Amino acid sequence: MKEDNKRPWGYYEVLSDAPDHKVKRIVVNPGGILSLQRHKKRAEHWFIVSGAGIVTLGKKKYPVKPGSAIDIPSGAAHRVENTSSKDLVLIEIQTGTYFGEDDIERLEDKYGRV
């Protein structure tokens, strides 16, 4: 794992980075929570591999476990929280026109990031 892929909530690995998609393996530590965020230029599909948590999508919350999948449309506020005592692992598939980390608009963040 590259040092710049570490986050306060865990880390991610890029599995595929192509002009028309990006695929990440995201590991969220127990108690970790991603920022509430949205993207202008991409949609995401999350597939839960292991662990358990809660995905916030818009104003709704969805419990997730291995085998769960969530589609996140471009522009939708979203995040995932690990509510279990082991790592929450998910595969994120991004589609759209741009996949850079600077296409993250943070709306709320437990760790004080802007």
pTM score, whole prediction:
0.94
b/e burial code for range 67-83 (CB count within 10 A of at least 16 → b): ebebebeeeeebbbbbb
Distance CA 65, CA 49 (A): 8
23-79 pLDDT, tens digit per residue, is: 999 999 999 999 999 999 999 999 999 999 999 999 999 999 999 999 999 999 999
Q: Which domain holds residue 64?
A: 25-101
Cα–Cα distances (Å) from 51 to 5, 54, 85, in that order, read 20, 11, 8
Question: Considering its fold, how many domains does the chain have in total?
Answer: 1
CATH value at residue 91 = 2.60.120.10
